[in-house]
Amino acid sequence: MSGSVRGFIPWIAFAVLSGTAGWQTAAIVAVALSVVLLLRNRRAGVGLDANVIELSAAVFFAAVAVLAHLEPHSPLRDGVGALSSAWLALTAWGSLAISRPFTLGIARRSVPQQFWNSPQFLRANNVITTVWAASFTVTALASGAVDLTDANASLATTLIQVAGFVVPAVFTIRYQESRRRLAAQGAQTAQGAQTAVFTKES
151 vs 80: CA distance, rounded Å: 11
pTM for the model: 0.84
Residue 98, classified by CB atoms within 10 Å of its CB into exposed (0-12), middle (13-18) or buried (19+), is exposed
Kindly report, residue by residue over 170-192, the tens digit of the pLDDT: 999 999 898 888 767 755 664 55
118 vs 5: CA distance, rounded Å: 24
DSSP 168: H
The CA distances from residue 52 to 48, 70, 87, 108, 185, in Å, are: 7, 27, 12, 14, 33
Per-residue confidence at 111, pLDDT binned at 50, 70, 90? confident
